[in-house]
Structure 1
Amino acid sequence: MAIEIPKDSAKEAVLSLQRYFKENMDNEIGNLVAEGLLQFFVEEIGPIIYNKAVEDVQQRLQARIAELDVEVHEEAFGYWRKRRRR
């Protein structure tokens, strides 16, 4: 599955990369260079972050599913126990 960044987010990321280079590298980069660098990061490093996020979500869902029987469990044959309390 290809990772795609929404256009608005990509524009913000490009501006952020340009600012980073200007403030930390004492060098300015143009729009095309920043877009290329962003694309490189998305293709090369993005899958690591994406896969980790999917793994984290799977673990959370599995934990919730494991607790499901406790959350929705209903005791059988409880009619007479409830009647005695009245």
Structure 2
Amino acid sequence: MSRIEFSSEQRAAMVEKLQDYFDSELDQELEQFDAEFLLDFFSKEIGAHFYNQGLHDARAVFESRIEAIDDEIYAIEKETN
């Protein structure tokens, strides 16, 4: 799997969320560099798990839609003698 790239705005938003979480939940200040380092760690070490789950979820939706289309096609099938 290739590395997922985020825009600088997306990355900044994620870093800010990490900093806010550390501040509000752990009562600890997380500096910009440390937050970026932590984001990189999560992305590298556990990001693939979230990505793969997203793929599984998307596949389930796709399969459900295909099944519904298949049912609709079967429903318009003409009777033959």
Q: Report the TM range for the smaller structure's normalisation.
A: 0.7 to 0.9
Distance 1:77 1:35, change over 3 A: same
Greater relative contact order (Cα < 8 A, sep 6+):
1
Which amino acid counterpart does residue 6 of structure 2 have in structure 1?
A: I
1:75 paired with 2:77, answer yes
The equivalences for 1:7-26 within 5 A come to 7-26=8-27
Deviations 1:31-55 (A, max 9, x none): 1110000111111111111100101
TM-score computed with the length of structure 2 as normaliser: 0.78
Which runs of 5 or more structure 2 residues have no equivalent in the other structure? Answer: none
Alpha-carbon deviation of 1:77?
5.4
**Backbone CA RMSD of aligned residues:** 1.9
Larger Rg: 1
Count of residues in correspondence between the two structures: 78
Seq. identity, % = 35
The equivalences for 1:1-86 within 5 A come to 1=1, 2-73=3-74, 74-76=76-78
Which runs of 5 or more structure 1 residues have no equivalent in the other structure? Answer: 79-86
TM-score computed with the length of structure 1 as normaliser: 0.74
Greater CA drift, 55-64 or 45-54: 55-64
Alpha-carbon deviation of 1:57?
0.9
